[in-house]
Amino acid sequence: MKKLNALYADTEALFSQGRLTVNELFLDQQLLFETQINYENEMYAFHQFLLDYCTFHSERVWDCF
């Protein structure tokens, strides 16, 4: 995510220099948001899997692994 945020900062810099169009900036911004949402959804699914696994085995989460 840090690399993606850095790339978007580069895109904003290019836009401020007039080297990118508004549409290109918008597309990069949209990609950043979609990537952040996908990352958060994947992290949620992973944590939910851990909770479900531990619950199935009737163990506390910290003792589960």
Q: What is the mean pLDDT of each run of 10 residues along the chain (65 residues)?
A: 76 85 86 90 93 81 69
Q: Give CA separation, 34 vs 38, 39, 40, 51, in Å.
A: 6, 9, 10, 26
pLDDT, position 61: 63
Q: Report if pTM > 0.85.
A: no
